[in-house]
């Protein structure tokens, strides 16, 4: 079976979640990754199922609300937010939930993070929770890591990982090396790019200096069975047509270097 290429709803921001389904359908993506955020539609299983049915594109992954702007979505408790994301994915038959490592100030959550993941795996065996590689933050010539115990989840070790290529650029890490560290536990890929200039850029793949093409081409040999979610920033697009052009270019890049045909027939 060919590797599915998904459109992350974060890639259409500032347009709403519903626009991701419309664009995924019109451009020929295999599905959608829903970024759960302050848009009520992104939190609602019924609304998401309706969009998936209307546009003919399934939700195949869910990104838990981990950003600073989503700290009050569903609950103030990050463990509850993660559980709700897993329950949403299970309801939608999405096999993967993406989560960031805990922030350093989430002390209780950080201490129990491994136990929380183990309990979720026990309670929801059809959903993989894949911990994402992050990056240190550089400001005014200084560097700090806002994640506990660190930005690289392979240093701790988890059952499943999400490889984010833009985050690799921001952390000055080669994504092929990170994939090697993740090994057989690589479950999901966030496809973007970056220049390594000290911030998380989420460029269209091929427009930065990460080995995006090589990473995609290597996945079959790694025994990868997950999905590729295009997670690029189009907030600077001056029109819907410009946004569509960037998202179409990212899809073409992914399919070309995966050397596969579209996975799902609609």
How far apart, in Å, are the Cα atoms of 62 and each of 65, 169, 246?
9, 23, 22
How far apart, in Å, are the Cα atoms of 139 and each of 142, 197, 198?
5, 12, 9
Q: Is the peptide bond before 58 cis (omega within 30 degrees of 0)?
A: no
Neighbours of 184 (CB within 10 A): 9
Q: Tens of pLDDT along 105-139?
A: 999 999 999 999 999 999 999 999 999 999 998 87
Mean pLDDT (the chain) is: 94
CA–CA gap between residue 196 and residue 149 (Å, rounded): 23
Q: Tens of pLDDT along 2-31?
A: 899 999 999 999 999 999 999 999 999 999
Residues in the chain: 266
Tell whether the model's pLDDT for residue 264 goes beyond 60. no
Per-residue pLDDT at 1: 64
Tell whether the model's pLDDT for residue 265 goes beyond 60. no
Per-residue pLDDT at 141: 73
Using 50, 70 and 90 to split pLDDT, how confident is the model at 46? very high
Tell whether the model's pLDDT for residue 262 goes beyond 90. no
Q: What is the mean pLDDT of residues 187-202?
A: 91
Is residue 40 left, alpha or beta, with left meaning phi > 0 and alpha meaning psi from -120 to 50? alpha
Strands 128-132 and 186-191: unpaired
Per-residue pLDDT at 196: 85
Q: Is the peptide bond before 255 cis (omega within 30 degrees of 0)?
A: no
């Amino acid at each position: 079976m060919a590797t599915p290429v998904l459109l992350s709803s974060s890639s259409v921001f500032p347009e709403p979640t519903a626009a991701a389904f419309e664009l995924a359908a019109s451009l020929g993506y295999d599905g959608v990754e829903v970024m759960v955020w302050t848009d009520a539609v992104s939190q609602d299983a019924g609304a998401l199922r309706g969009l998936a049915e209307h546009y003919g594109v399934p939700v195949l992954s869910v990104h838990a609300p981990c950003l600073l702007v989503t700290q009050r979505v569903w609950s103030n408790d990050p463990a509850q937010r993660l559980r709700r994301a897993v329950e949403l994915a299970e309801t939608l038959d999405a096999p993967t939930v993406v989560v960031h490592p805990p922030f350093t100030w989430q002390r209780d959550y950080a201490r129990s993070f491994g136990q929380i993941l183990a309990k979720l795996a026990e309670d929801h065996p059809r959903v993989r929770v894949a911990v994402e590689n992050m990056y240190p933050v550089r400001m005014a010539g200084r560097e700090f890591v806002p994640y506990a115990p660190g930005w690289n989840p392979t240093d701790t070790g988890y059952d499943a990982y999400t490889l984010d290529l833009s985050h690799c650029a921001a952390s000055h890490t080669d994504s092929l090396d990170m994939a090697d560290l993740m090994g057989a536990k690589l479950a999901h890929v966030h496809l973007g790019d970056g220049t390594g200039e000290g911030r998380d850029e989420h460029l269209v793949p091929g427009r930065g200096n990460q080995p995006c093409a090589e990473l995609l081409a290597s996945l079959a040999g790694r025994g990868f069975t997950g999905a590729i979610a295009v997670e690029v920033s189009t907030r600077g697009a001056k029109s819907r047509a410009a946004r569509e052009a960037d998202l179409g270019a990212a899809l073409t890049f992914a399919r070309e270097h995966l050397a596969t045909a579209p996975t799902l027939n609609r």
